[in-house]
Homo-oligomer: A and B are copies of this chain.
């Protein structure tokens, strides 16, 4: 569609501070007010259907003090503490530029084939008279929310600058219910807490569970995407979009006044960002609706990202995969090849002389067993972790040269196994655990990608477990955010898709770089083997973590007592089997794993059928029912086949939902297969109890489906054929 620009420039240089600028969403329901408060402080409010979403909230940044202009060889003074640091007050209003835009674009992969990007825009240029600095705040108002960012035009008085802190406020209108995890510079792998804003402080200590690298920063600090619900039923979600060359934003809560203030991830020196004008911050986003389903369906984050940066995207494909993985996660087998060497020095340690422990997961015959199963059941790829030397002491030592990413263990025949896999029509998936030693990874990256080219890998799961090297940097600081994108872009040079774990949480960058097909950046299924996650987790993640992009959640666990895999591990997977199936639909991702062991799937082949059938890429998606922390039901239409798949999950409460089928074509008859919790199913006591029923449905069908505690259901729907004529109506 054409983009229509409509500029209404109002030059108000030196205007009174009471100047107020209003912006409405295309449907008129969202109303943004911008003004300069006392002292020339930029301030905004946001209303939805005349109900307050954001009360008057300050905007701007605090600088470290711009570096003075220097000449090489000239005398240099550091610090310059006297220089003004405020970019949050002392402003007068300059030009206000308005425009409208309405375009439609087609993602390389996604929840729907076409995405409409329609907004009204207002760019307010502010002049700080005392410093001669200009700053523009650009607002984009969509029907489902607001995005705004700070822009720094090229100018004499502000070129290179260091951010001390961003001072964006989000003042809530009340003591909302929030679904939050602790703010942390290094991990998002926390269980969610549902509480009032006023309860965050008291609940924080219990919410901070141990992690291999973690740096909480405040007793009321929380992460984005933060989902809230007001007492009067407004769903408000705060996040950011297009996080590029900037630190990840957290939210620090003033819990007396319910005002969140942005808190950026610092670098090793405590500073928050290094900027060079012309430049801008990421978008700060507020998604809002009185219907929770609108939050899940929102494409605001993607829309605020730049279009695809690649000319050719034909090499980017959704991936359904299995992995030599759960057996290590549960502790049944090892990533490491040997237990002979307590300390590895790559290039020195001679693995040929080490005794294999007999517990190595990435061992030729074992890998072949997985290849056989995955190929037989239509998977695209098989992830193999622990294939490369160095796993004996990879963890917890902040070890610089920890992996080389190219040398296989003696019992992993990389050439033969890839050939074997290719012979069966699947690929191996590469694994690059960096142990957060990032310089080391970048040093080996090109050789690592070339090795992938050589053996026919086209996707890599990367990992950043542990404290970052360079030491003092954090997982979510500008330094690392730059790295993650570097890895994705260099991978694109090799037509490689990336699924980065422990990286910064996504902010829609997969629109621009669609070879970023997955991220972890939240508490994934692995924690079910580390003591378990809360059942409501999967009813919250689509409202929070998934707002920015797909998650490699690695669902599909069928055997819930981990002790059946490793007798020493007493973890329990807090889900029913039907719930695990539902996740392939409720947790949208173009990358989906069947995470359990082949021998477990062999026990439940009728249920496994759903994992085989479910699509990865969608023509359209319909969120049917949703309440954060309680339940989510979504129906999706597969891009190629036109088949529909429905998934539903609940929290720790049993509940029955009434499913509509109104998204089906009228007049057509369909065959639906329902995978549901059995009446006696329960995530704790009877998780593997499920029923499978096949029957006919039509557009006007309504179906009651019961979900067990921690349960769910999945449905596959195809058009009926003559062969189905004897089928009854689905019950």
Contact = CB atoms under 8 A, between A and B. Distances in A.
Given A154-B343, A210-B76, A271 B396 contact: no
Contacts of A342: 154, 156, 159
A75 B210 contact: yes
Interface string A198-219: 0000000000001110000000
B159 A67 contact: no
Contacts of A465: 72
Interface string A445-472: 0100000000000000000010000111
A14 to B, nearest CB: 27
Interface string A239-250: 000000000000
Nearest to A212: B76
A276 B399 contact: yes
Contact of A398 (B274, B398, B529): B274
A526 B73 CA distance: 9
Interface in A234-262: none
A473 interface: yes
A482 interface: yes
Interface in A61-90: 67, 69-73, 75-77
Nearest to A330: B73
B471 A268 contact: yes
Contact of A160 (B276, B397, B446, B530): B397
Contacts of A482: 400
A276 B472 contact: no
A357 interface: no
Q: Which of A159, A268, A277, A399 has the most CB of B within 10 A?
A: A268
Interface string A524-553: 001001100000000000000000000000
Nearest to A482: B400
Nearest to A271: B471
A663 interface: no
B397 A67 contact: yes
A269 interface: yes
A720 to B, nearest CB: 47
Interface string A466-496: 0000111100000100100010000000000
A160 B472 contact: no
Nearest to A530: B73
Which interface residue of A73, A393, A471, A529 has the most chain B CB atoms within 10 A? A73
Contacts of A486: 443
A267 interface: yes
A442 interface: yes
A70 B439 CA distance: 23
Nearest to A328: B72
A345 interface: yes
5 contacts: A76-B211, A267-B472, A268-B472, A439-B439, A470-B479
Interface of A: 67, 69-73, 75-77, 154, 156, 159-160, 210-212, 267-269, 271, 274, 276-277, 329, 342-343, 345, 393, 395-400, 439, 442-443, 446, 465, 470-473, 479, 482, 486, 526, 529-530
Given A156-B342, A276-B345, 9 more contacts: A73-B329, A75-B210, A268-B470, A268-B471, A276-B343, A276-B397, A442-B442, A443-B486, A446-B446
Closest 9 CB pairs of A and B: A268-B268, A268-B472, A470-B470, A70-B396, A160-B397, A75-B210, A73-B530, A269-B472, A72-B395
